[in-house]
Amino acid sequence: MGMNRPKSSVSEYIDFLIGTQQSYTCLEASKVQPEDGAQPAHDAINRMLYRTEPSTEAIWQEAKPHVLIDRGLLLIDDSTLDKPFARKVDLVSYHWSGNHHKVVKGISLQSLVWTDGDSIIPVDCRVLDKSENKTKNDLFAELMTKAFERGFRVEYVAFDSWYSSLENLKLLRYNNQNWFSRFKSNRLVDPNRTGNRAICEVEIPKSGREVHLKGYGMIKIFKTVSKNGDEEFWATSDLEMNEMKRLSVSEKTWGIEMYHREIKQACGVERCQCRGAKAQLNHIFLSIRAFLRLERYCFKTGLGWLEVKWQIVRSAVQAYITNPFYNQALFLTA
């Protein structure tokens, strides 16, 4: 006799992540299944998360038709998935959170996103597992190496100063890939062959300035000053970049911040309550695929991510108003 078909599928779980509004548990997933006599129980959904082999390849296969590998930007950054009350949950440890501006308990998700300024398409990701003794820069190298194997040679790879190590910059140069990054104010550069000095001490015109980065070579740097006087420093391997181009690219880099916010708010990426690493990874990867489907629908319709989620709620409210089962007649006959 053959094995029975699993009652819960990956596709159905993705649909649940798109449709649900607050609760992302296996129990809730079982409660909202269609009542056709074959709806999966909580245990069946839980088993699906533990038995499915976690893989980011499915993310890439779903994203591949919607990206152009020879244009646009690749954005790379990490985000902490908050798990403040987690006890004995695999992959949970302490990480710095830019949202909370302190070290918090959670799972560190590193994302690689493609954008052309209009669409935001996740193409790959990694989860930091401290038991593997890997750093965020190790995951950066993994993500970029895989992207180059898939044929990516985009206009720029953009990232924060955390990833601007010489090893990472050389990896991109070796693959003939231009990059664009923030630099910390104490990064040492040589502006006129008189010796290295902190980038904050270098006079930088609005049009940018070519300088030498020790161990790498010539780069171009820019400085921006906010209304409250805060300075930010930018660097690129593209010596032809001007201020207009810098502004255009820097505006597009915000796409990854929007992406991380929406996979949390609209897809519940940090809301899995399973303890095991395999289930946590599957939930994260399937949440990303749920976002991808929302993003493509939003791109075609011009609607926002949360507006699309509210359409589902409105349909349910309309159905209830059409056939209310908590009505006055119920209490009059009691």
Q: How far is CA 271 from CA 28, 74, 84, 184, 207, in A?
A: 12, 27, 11, 33, 45
- Distance separating alpha carbons of residues 288 and 26, to the nearest angstrom: 17
Residue 333: which pLDDT band, with cuts at 50, 70 and 90? low
The pLDDT confidence band at residue 130, using thresholds 50, 70 and 90, is confident
pLDDT digit string, tens, across residues 60-82: 999 999 999 999 999 999 999 98
Q: What's the whole-number mean pLDDT along residues 17-42?
A: 86
The CA distance from 303 to 119, in Å, is 12
- In the chain, what are the domain boundaries? 10-54+274-322, 57-261
199-252 residue pLDDT tens: 999 999 999 999 999 999 999 999 999 888 899 999 999 999 999 999 999 999
* Average pLDDT, rounded, for the chain: 91
Using alpha carbons only, give the angle 265, 118, 96 rounded to the nearest 5 degrees: 40
**Percent of the residues in the chain that have a pLDDT greater than 90, as a whole number:** 71
Assigned CATH topology for domain 57-261: Transposase Inhibitor Protein From Tn5; Chain A, domain 1 (3.90.350)
Q: What is the pLDDT of residue 1?
A: 43
Whether 4 shows a pLDDT value over 80: the answer reads no
